[in-house]
């Protein structure tokens, strides 16, 4: 296997932050993936411009993944290229890896970590932390996990190559999501309580804002994506009752 210099790997990792930069419906992350691969491909194919061209070509293909986990695929693709895997093997790997990386990232980051970190910052704000402090601490806490996840994924991909699936299964990201979920629900409950009771919270908002809130919910139900479920109905009803009760007492 041909060693890829640390600097080239570092440049690929840095470029992976821009992987969504030319997102499009046809190839999705394809252009960004090729752009991020370029420094490492240049190192692997430094004496063979034709092979470099073919490699760049295959990485321009359709690709999709969660952006934070795209490093898993980049790392593994670099390893496959450095090991001299053939075109078909590399394409098949990328086709197989995009679904899991998308699914794991969506549930772990978009559905859990982003809302949970936002909720913690909102609770801190409503409990009286200055706005700038809540915002800055959100950015730090959120991004420590974000960048850590990217770095971990890139290293895991580089180390395991095509076998990265077994490594991801071992890390049990899906299980981690399951274990973190109850914590996020607790924070959501805390936010609701704080919103209702804090100074300047819902109870002190006045009837104008209450009506605006009800109107917004109505508009969302009428024109938005269907999400009318029993849990939503209960949440809205309880919030309204507590809000009105808060105004009257």
- Residues of the shown chain interacting with other proteins in the complex, contacts defined by CB under 8 A: 25-26, 62, 92, 96-100, 102-104, 106-107, 162-166, 168-169, 174, 225-226
User: CA 156, CA 128: separation in Å to the nearest integer?
Assistant: 41
CB nearer other proteins, residue 83 or residue 106: 106
Start-end of H helices in 45-113: 49-59, 70-82, 87-105
Find the shortest distance in angstroms from Cβ 163 to other proteins. 5
Question: Which 8-state DSSP code applies to residue 67?
Answer: G
Find the shortest distance in angstroms from Cβ 207 to other proteins. 35
CB nearer other proteins, residue 15 or residue 162: 162
CB neighbours of 170 closer than 8 A, spacing ≥ 6? Answer: none
Find the shortest distance in angstroms from Cβ 98 to other proteins. 7
CB nearer other proteins, residue 170 or residue 249: 170
User: CA 80, CA 59: separation in Å to the nearest integer?
Assistant: 12
Find the shortest distance in angstroms from Cβ 203 to other proteins. 35
Q: Which of helix, strand or coil describes residue 63?
A: strand
Find the shortest distance in angstroms from Cβ 57 to other proteins. 13
Residues 96-115: b if buried by 16+ CB within 10 A, e if exposed: ebbebbbebbebbbeebbee
User: CA 25, CA 47: separation in Å to the nearest integer?
Assistant: 34
CB nearer other proteins, residue 209 or residue 228: 228
CB nearer other proteins, residue 169 or residue 233: 169
User: CA 131, CA 137: separation in Å to the nearest integer?
Assistant: 10
């Amino acid at each position: 296997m041909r060693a890829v210099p640390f600097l080239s790997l570092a440049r690929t990792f840095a470029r992976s932050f821009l992987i969504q930069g030319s997102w499009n419906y046809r190839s999705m992350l394809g252009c960004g993936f090729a752009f991020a691969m370029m420094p490492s491909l240049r190192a692997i194919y430094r004496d063979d411009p034709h092979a470099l061209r073919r490699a760049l070509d295959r990485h321009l293909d359709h690709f999709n993944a969660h952006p934070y986990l795209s490093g898993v695929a980049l790392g593994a693709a670099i390893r496959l290229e450095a090991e001299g895997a053939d075109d078909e093997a590399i394409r098949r790997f990328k086709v197989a890896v995009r679904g899991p990386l998308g699914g794991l990232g969506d549930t772990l980051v978009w559905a859990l970590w982003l809302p949970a970190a936002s909720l913690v910052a909102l609770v801190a704000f409503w409990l009286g932390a200055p706005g700038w402090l809540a915002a800055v601490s959100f950015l730090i806490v959120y991004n420590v996990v974000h960048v850590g996840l990217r770095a971990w994924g890139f290293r895991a991909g580089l180390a395991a190559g095509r076998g990265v699936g077994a490594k991801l299964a071992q890390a049990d990201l899906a299980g981690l999501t399951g274990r973190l979920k109850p914590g996020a629900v607790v924070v959501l409950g805390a936010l609701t309580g704080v919103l209702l009771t804090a100074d300047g919270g819902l109870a002190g908002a006045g009837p104008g804002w209450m009506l605006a809130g009800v109107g917004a919910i109505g508009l969302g139900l009428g024109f938005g994506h269907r999400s009318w479920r029993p849990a939503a109905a209960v949440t809205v009803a309880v919030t309204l009752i507590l809000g009105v009760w808060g105004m009257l007492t």
